[in-house]
Amino acid sequence: MNKRTYKDYASARAAKSDTPKNCLFAFLVGGGICAFAEAIKAGYLALGTEKETAAILVPCTLILLTAILTGLDLFDGIAKHAGAGTLVPITGFANAVVSPAMDSRKEGLVPGLGVRIFSVAGPVILYGTLASVLYGTVYCLCGAGGAI
Amino acid sequence: MKREILSFPNAPGILAAASVVGKHESEGPLGALFDLHDSTDRFGKETWEQSESEMQRISFNLALTKANLREEELNCIFAGDLMNQCTASAYGLLDFDLPYFGLYGACSTAAEGLILASSMISTGLYDKASVTASSHNCTAERQFRSPIEYGGQRTPTSQWTVTGAATFLLSAGGGDAYLTQALPGRAVDYGITDLSNMGAAMAPAAIDTLTRFFRESGMTPSRFDLILTGDLGFEGYSIVLELMKKEGYDLSENYTDCGLLIYDRTVQDVHAGGSGCGCSAVVIASYLTDLFRKGEIRDVLFLGTGALMSPLTVRQGLSIPGIAHLVRITKERMF
| Torsion sign, CA atoms B306, B308, B312, B315 | negative
Q: What is the mean predicted confidence (pLDDT) over A80-93?
A: 92
At what angle are helices A90-103 and A75-82 packed, to 10 degrees? 140
Residue of B nearest to A1 (CA): B243
Q: Are residues B108 and B209 in the same domain?
A: no
The verdict on a CB contact (< 8 Å) between A98 and B149 is yes
**What's the confidence (pLDDT) of residue A38?**
96
Q: Is B1 contained in some domain? A: no
At residue B20, the 3 state secondary structure works out as: strand
The verdict on a CB contact (< 8 Å) between A76 and B151 is yes
Is residue A146 pLDDT above 70, yes or no? Answer: no
- Spell out the domain ranges in chain A: 18-117, 121-148
Is residue B272 pLDDT above 90, yes or no? Answer: yes
Q: Which residue range is the domain that position B211 belongs to?
A: 178-330
The verdict on a CB contact (< 8 Å) between B157 and A14 is yes
Q: Is B290 contained in some domain? A: yes
**What's the confidence (pLDDT) of residue A115?**
95
Q: What is the mean predicted confidence (pLDDT) over B195-206?
A: 97
Q: Is B299 contained in some domain? A: yes
What percentage of chain B's residues is helix, strand, coil (to nearest 5)? 35, 25, 40
Cα B78 versus chain centre, distance: 13
Q: Which residues of A have a CB under 8 Å from any CB of B?
A: 1, 3-4, 6-7, 10-11, 13-17, 22, 70-71, 73, 75-76, 78-80, 82-83, 86-87, 92, 95-96, 98-100, 102-103, 106, 119-120
Cα B216 versus chain centre, distance: 24
Q: Are residues B220 and B281 in the same domain?
A: yes
Q: Are residues B163 and B189 in the same domain?
A: no
The verdict on a CB contact (< 8 Å) between B147 and A1 is no
Q: What is the mean predicted confidence (pLDDT) over B117-126?
A: 97
Is residue A1 pLDDT above 90, yes or no? Answer: no
Total number of domains in chain B: 2
Q: Which amino acid is at A7?
A: K
Is residue A145 pLDDT above 70, yes or no? Answer: no
Is residue A125 pLDDT above 80, yes or no? Answer: yes
Q: Are residues B75 and B186 in the same domain?
A: no
Q: Are residues B146 and B183 in the same domain?
A: no
Q: Are residues B183 and B129 in the same domain?
A: no
Is residue A12 pLDDT above 70, yes or no? Answer: yes
CB pairs under 8 A between A and B: 91
Q: How confident is the prediction for chain B on average, in pLDDT?
A: 97
- Chain B residues with beta carbon closer than 8 angstroms to that of A96: 150
* pTM summary value: 0.95
State the nearest Cα–Cα gap between B118 and chain A, in angstroms.
34
Is residue A136 pLDDT above 60, yes or no? Answer: yes
Is residue A4 pLDDT above 90, yes or no? Answer: no
Q: How many CB atoms lie within 10 A of CB A142?
A: 9
Q: Are residues B157 and B191 in the same domain?
A: no
**What's the confidence (pLDDT) of residue B223?**
97
Give yes or no for a contact between B132 and B79, defined as CB atoms under 8 angstroms apart: yes
Q: How far apart are CA A145 and CA A126, in angstroms?
A: 26
Is residue B30 pLDDT above 60, yes or no? Answer: yes
Is residue B318 pLDDT above 60, yes or no? Answer: yes
Q: What is the mean predicted confidence (pLDDT) over B111-123?
A: 98
Residue of B nearest to A10 (CA): B200
% pLDDT > 70, chain B: 100
**What's the confidence (pLDDT) of residue B301?**
98
Q: Which of B61, B100, B108 is nearest to B79 (CA)?
A: B100
Instruction: Count how many residues are written for chain B.
Output: 335
Q: How open is the CA angle A118-A122-A126, to the nearest 5 degrees?
A: 145
> Considering just the CA atoms, what is the radius of gyration of chain A in Å?
21
pLDDT, tens only, B98-110: 999 999 999 999 9
Torsion of CA B229, B230, B233, B239, to 10 degrees: -30
**What's the confidence (pLDDT) of residue A83?**
92
Q: Are residues B100 and B194 in the same domain?
A: no
B316 vs A116, B94, B311, B319, CA distance in Å? Answer: 20, 35, 9, 9
Of the listed ranges A136-145, B237-246, B271-280, the least confidently predicted one is A136-145
Check which CATH number belongs to the domain holding B186 and give it. 3.40.47.40
Q: Are residues B163 and B52 in the same domain?
A: yes
Q: What is the mean predicted confidence (pLDDT) over B12-18?
A: 98
Q: Are residues B14 and B63 in the same domain?
A: yes
H helices of A72-121, where? 75-82, 84-87, 90-103, 115-116
| Torsion sign, CA atoms B120, B123, B128, B131 | positive
- Chain B residues with beta carbon closer than 8 angstroms to that of A102: 147-149
Q: How far apart are CA B55 and CA A145, in angstroms?
A: 64
The verdict on a CB contact (< 8 Å) between A76 and B149 is yes
Is residue A147 pLDDT above 60, yes or no? Answer: no
State the nearest Cα–Cα gap between B322 and chain A, in angstroms.
13
**What's the confidence (pLDDT) of residue A2?**
84
Q: How far apart are CA A110 and CA A116, in angstroms?
A: 9
The verdict on a CB contact (< 8 Å) between B148 and A70 is no
State the nearest Cα–Cα gap between A114 and chain B, in angstroms.
15
Is residue B2 pLDDT above 90, yes or no? Answer: no
Is residue B192 pLDDT above 70, yes or no? Answer: yes
**What's the confidence (pLDDT) of residue B130?**
98
